[in-house]
Amino acid sequence: QVQLVESGGGLVQAGGSLRLSCAASGSVFDINDMGWYRQAPGKQRELVAAITKSGSTNYADSVKGRFTISRDNAKNTVYLQMNKLKPEDTAVYYCNAQGLVYFGLGQSPLDAWGQGTLVTVSS
């Protein structure tokens, strides 16, 4: 099994910054895509930003120019730098990793989620 552990959430005033981290550990695995999603109260989970193994990125329109996703493949860690935060960014942020998990002579698809970290932006 692969575990994703997130950190870095908290309370910040509008206009402030936070940096989220998500580290993968556990079984032998190969991660292709990593991403950050968020879910606000009463709303569906949405993609915030994603990054491929080679470093290609894509962002939700609502965060373009304010958030930056990056990753350290050697550490199996993905980051989300969030600047110019707005109250509407308040949500639980989840890390996701997709790829392959290896066991014995076999492999299976990896689609793992972190436990979520709360980001609260006050006005």
The model's pLDDT over 29-71, given as tens digits with 9 standing for 90+, comes to 889 999 999 999 999 999 999 999 999 999 999 999 999 999 9
User: For residue 35, which of 96, 77, 86 has the smallest C-alpha distance?
Assistant: 96
Q: Would the pLDDT of 27 be above 90?
A: no
pLDDT at 104: 84
CA angle 40, 118, 74 (to 5 degrees): 115
pLDDT at 64: 98
What does the DSSP assignment read for 30-51?
EEEEEEEEEE-TTS--EEEEEE
**Between residues 13 and 105, which one has the greater pLDDT?**
13
Torsion angle, CA of 31/34/40/45, rounded to 10 degrees? -70
